[in-house]
C-alpha cells in the first residue's frame, strides 16, 4: 500500500534511537523528509549518518532537549526557514526513572512533569500555527501502555503520561475543524535501551539477571514475546499517513495484548 507520504515533512522528537529512530527510518522508506532530534550529539550524529547514507538529502537534524523552554521556539524557526510547513509532528520523550512513591521528591515529580507532559504541550502549542496552514497535518503523541494498566515501580510514568493522553483527546475534539488530526500510541514492552534499563532495575531488585527479567516480561504477552521497534513503527507510520485520514482522537495500544482491559 502506498501511504502517500512522498514529500511530507515530519519532525520526530527523541529519534536518535529506540522507537523514534524506528519511526524515522520507516517514514524515510515511505518517501517523507524527516527531521530527527536527540539530546546526545554523538548518538544523533550516528543516527543521522546511517539514515543519510540510505536516504540522501531527506534527513535533517535538530539537536536539543525537549524540556528546554526555548526548544520549541527554535524548532519553529528552523522548520519555517527550511520547509515552510510541517505535515507530521511526533512528540516523544524518554521515561522517568523507576521509583517507589515514598522515595520520590517534589523535584523528581516536577522533572517528570516537564519531560512527559509539558514537552508535548510546548511542542504542539508552538508548532500548531505551521500545521494550520499545512494540508493533511497531524500530531502523534507517544505515551505508554501504563496509562491503561499501571506498571509496578513506574508511578511517575503511570501518572503523568495519562495527562498527555487527555491532552491528545481534547485537542482532537477542539481542532478537528482545523483539519488537524491528533492521536496517541501507547507502546508496550518493546526492545529498546529504555526497556533494558528497566530490566536492569528489576534484576537488581529481584537478584536475577536482565535475561531472566526480559523472559518473564515477555511471557505476560499472549504472543509470548516483546515487540521489535519496527513493529511499533509500522503502526505509527500508518497512523500519521494520509491513509489514516479518518482517525483522530484514537488512543491506540501497541502492546502485544499485555493490557487486559477491553477498552
pLDDT band at 95 (very low <50, low <70, confident <90, very high): confident
Do 81 and 195 lie in a common domain?
A: no
- Lowest-pLDDT range, 90-94, 138-142, 143-147, 191-195? 191-195
Q: Cell digits for 156?
A: 511517575
User: What average pLDDT does range 175-193 have in this prediction?
Assistant: 94
**98 in a domain, yes or no?**
yes
Q: Which helix (H) or strand (E) holds 263?
A: none
Alpha-carbon dihedral angle through residues 217, 223, 225, 227, given to the nearest 10 degrees: -110
Q: How many CB atoms are closer than 10 A to CB 173?
A: 11
User: Which residue range forms the structural domain that includes residue 168?
Assistant: 9-188+228-254
The residue ranking higher by pLDDT, 158 or 97, is: 158
Cβ proximity of 162 and 169 under 8 Å: no
Q: Cell digits for 31?
A: 518517501
pLDDT of residue 197: 86
Do 34 and 115 lie in a common domain?
A: yes
**211 in a domain, yes or no?**
yes
pLDDT of residue 201: 85
pLDDT band at 184 (very low <50, low <70, confident <90, very high): very high
User: What average pLDDT does range 81-104 have in this prediction?
Assistant: 94
Average pLDDT of the residues of the chain = 95
Tell me how many domains the chain contains.
2
Do 97 and 56 lie in a common domain?
A: yes
Do 78 and 156 lie in a common domain?
A: yes
pLDDT beyond 90 at 59: yes
pLDDT of residue 199: 87
Amino acid at each position: 500500500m502506498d501511504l502517500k507520504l512522498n514529500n511530507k515533512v515530519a519532525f520526530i522528537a527523541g529519534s536518535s534511537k529506540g522507537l523514534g529512530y524506528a519511526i524515522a527510518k520507516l517514514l524515510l522508506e515511505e518517501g517523507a523528509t524527516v527531521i530527527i532530534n536527540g539530546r546526545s550529539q554523538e548518538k544523533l550524529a550516528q543516527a543521522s549518518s546511517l539514515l543519510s547514507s540510505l536516504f540522501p538529502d531527506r534527513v535533517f537534524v535538530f539537536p536539543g532537549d525537549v524540556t528546554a523552554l526555548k526548544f520549541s521556539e527554535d524548532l519553529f524557526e528552523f522548520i519555517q526557514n527550511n520547509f515552510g510547513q510541517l505535515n507530521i509532528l511526533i512528540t516523544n520523550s524518554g521515561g522517568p526513572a523507576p521509583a517507589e512513591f515514598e522515595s520520590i521528591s517534589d523535584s523528581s515529580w516536577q522533572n517528570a512533569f516537564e519531560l512527559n507532559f509539558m514537552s508535548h504541550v510546548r511542542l504542539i502549542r508552538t508548532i500548531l500555527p505551521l500545521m494550520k496552514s499545512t494540508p493533511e497535518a497531524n500530531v502523534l503523541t507517544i505515551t505508554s501502555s501504563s496509562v491503561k494498566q499501571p506498571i509496578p515501580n513506574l508511578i511517575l510514568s503511570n501518572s503523568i503520561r495519562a495527562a498527555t493522553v487527555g491532552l491528545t483527546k481534547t485537542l482532537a475534539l477542539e481542532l478537528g475543524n482545523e483539519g488537524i488530526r491528533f492521536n496517541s500510541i501507547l507502546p508496550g514492552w518493546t526492545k529498546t535501551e529504555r526497556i533494558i534499563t528497566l530490566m536492569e532495575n528489576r534484576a537488581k531488585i529481584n537478584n536475577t539477571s536482565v535475561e531472566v527479567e526480559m523472559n518473564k516480561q515477555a511471557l505476560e504477552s499472549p504472543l509470548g514475546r516483546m515487540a521489535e521497534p519496527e513493529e511499533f513503527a509500522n503502526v505509527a507510520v500508518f497512523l500519521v499517513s494520509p491513509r489514516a485520514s479518518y482517525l483522530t482522537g484514537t488512543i491506540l495500544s501497541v502492546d502485544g495484548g499485555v493490557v487486559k482491559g477491553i477498552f
